[in-house]
């Protein structure tokens, strides 16, 4: 089977010949691993099953000061420490300025200009178009986390209006991306912390659920799979996400949910992508311990399909190179 065929089998809850997998690295982890292996191009040799496409326009990011990067929404990110994402350091929208704010042009053809070339050379990969910061995250990066959370209680109309504008923008992105031969759309939207939902279930149902349902159903109308990346303890939402049209949940963090129990409860309706501990196992375990746990994940979570094995997030800089190699060995030698 090709990588694409393995993912399709898994997402249709059939047993593939091998469990598909995908491994991403943070900037620091990639540097460390390249030095450890003496091979700066090691990542291209991992046989990952997914190919991710951006929906950002050409030159969407501009370095406006040393380590300060501005995205196409006008949000500035301080990357002095975190080289991968950064920390928001400005405010683009307030309740008073929302009506005047102009969203980027979702119809900008440069967003999709590389799709034919990348899809053409990645025919054996499962192609995922990725909308990062897709709703709640986009709102708080524009207006501030405190403002969004307080406004859910004190000024809900502002939050509804902002989220509606984000959804309208995203629906145009979905329609354009799905014109191409992509297999799935992935939404990035962290709703969780280690102990539960950031905004709580009541506000998630009021502000988030109806809008993710709208976006997921738009993807379904294009006959593509729906992925969500949402960090933290959000497993209480699984029944409602399945109802909304979700196919694949990521990052499936073992520190905040019993991944084996989640497979038993929801594995008939939901596929999982992740599950390999980046908070504890890869930084602190032994290579043999890593091999044992990764093999168990493959054997149990991967049974009857429904699993893409992966670290629960892009591998962090404190992960041990020998543990990363142990994980790769198990994944590659199925």
Q: Is 321 exposed, middle or buried (0-12, 13-18, 19+ CB in 10 A)?
A: middle
> How far is Cα 123 from Cα 94, in angstroms, rounded to an integer?
44
> How far is Cα 77 from Cα 90, in angstroms, rounded to an integer?
8
How many domains does the chain contain in total? 1
Strands 126-131 and 248-250, by their bridges, are unpaired
What is the model's pLDDT at position 89?
Answer: 97
- Give the count of beta carbons closer than 10 Å to the beta carbon of residue 316: 16
| Closest C-alpha to 132, from 208, 87, 188, 178 | 188
What is the model's pLDDT at position 78?
Answer: 97
Token pair recorded at residue 263:
């497979």
**307 CB contacts (<8 Å, ≥6 apart)?**
10, 19, 20, 263, 271, 272, 273, 275, 297, 298, 301
Determine contact, residues 161/95, Cβ cutoff 8 Å: no
Angle at 299 between CA 293 and CA 301, to 5 degrees: 85
Enter the pTM of the model.
Answer: 0.96
Token pair recorded at residue 312:
């629960």
> How far is Cα 128 from Cα 184, in angstroms, rounded to an integer?
5
What is the model's pLDDT at position 299?
Answer: 97
200: left (phi over 0), alpha (psi -120 to 50) or beta: left
What is the model's pLDDT at position 173?
Answer: 98
| Closest C-alpha to 18, from 45, 42, 49, 43 | 49
Exposure letters 252-290 (e unless 16+ CB within 10 A, then b): bbbebbebeebbeebbeebbbbbbbbbbebbeebeeeeb
Residues spanned by the domain of 284 = 3-332
- Write the pLDDT tens digit of every residue in 61-116: 999 999 999 999 999 999 999 999 999 999 999 999 999 999 999 999 999 999 99
CATH at residue 258: 3.20.20.210
| Closest C-alpha to 218, from 167, 165, 183, 182 | 167
What φ, ψ does residue 265 adopt, rounded to 5°? -80, -45
For tokens 């992740």, name the residue: 274
What is the model's pLDDT at position 200?
Answer: 97
> How far is Cα 311 from Cα 294, in angstroms, rounded to an integer?
10
In terms of residues, how long is the chain?
A: 334
Ranges under pLDDT 70 in the chain:
none
């Amino acid at each position: 089977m090709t990588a694409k065929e393995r993912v399709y089998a898994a997402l249709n809850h059939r047993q593939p010949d091998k469990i598909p997998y995908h491994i991403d690295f943070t900037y620091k982890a990639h540097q460390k691993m390249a030095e450890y292996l003496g091979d700066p191009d090691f990542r291209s040799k991992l046989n990952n099953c997914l190919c991710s496409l951006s929906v950002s326009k050409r030159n969407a990011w501009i370095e406006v000061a040393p380590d300060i990067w501005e995205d196409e929404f006008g949000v500035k990110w301080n990357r002095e420490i975190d080289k991968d994402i950064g920390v928001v350091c400005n405010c683009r929208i307030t309740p008073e300025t929302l009506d005047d704010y102009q969203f980027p042009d979702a119809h900008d053809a440069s967003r999709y200009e590389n799709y034919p070339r990348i899809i053409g050379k990645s025919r054996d990969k499962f192609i995922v178009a990725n909308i990062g910061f897709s709703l709640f995250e986009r709102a708080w990066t524009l207006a501030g986390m405190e403002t969004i959370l307080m406004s859910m209680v004190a000024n809900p109309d502002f939050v509804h209006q902002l989220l509606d504008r984000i959804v309208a923008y995203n629906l145009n992105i979905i329609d354009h991306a799905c014109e191409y031969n992509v297999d799935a759309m992935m939404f990035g939207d962290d709703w969780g912390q280690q102990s539960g939902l950031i905004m709580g279930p009541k506000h998630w149902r009021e502000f988030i659920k109806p809008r993710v349902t709208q976006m997921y159903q738009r993807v379904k109308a294009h006959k593509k799979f729906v992925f969500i990346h949402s960090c933290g303890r959000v497993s209480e939402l699984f029944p409602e996400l399945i109802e909304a049209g979700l196919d694949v949940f990521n990052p499936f963090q073992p520190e905040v949910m019993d991944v084996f129990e989640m497979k038993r409860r929801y594995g008939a309706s939901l596929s999982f992508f992740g599950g390999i501990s980046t908070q504890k196992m890869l930084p602190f375990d032994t290579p043999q311990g890593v091999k044992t746990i990764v093999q168990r994940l493959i054997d149990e979570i991967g049974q009857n399909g429904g699993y893409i094995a992966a670290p629960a997030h892009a591998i962090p800089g404190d992960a041990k190179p020998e543990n990363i190699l142990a994980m790769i060995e198990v994944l590659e030698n199925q």
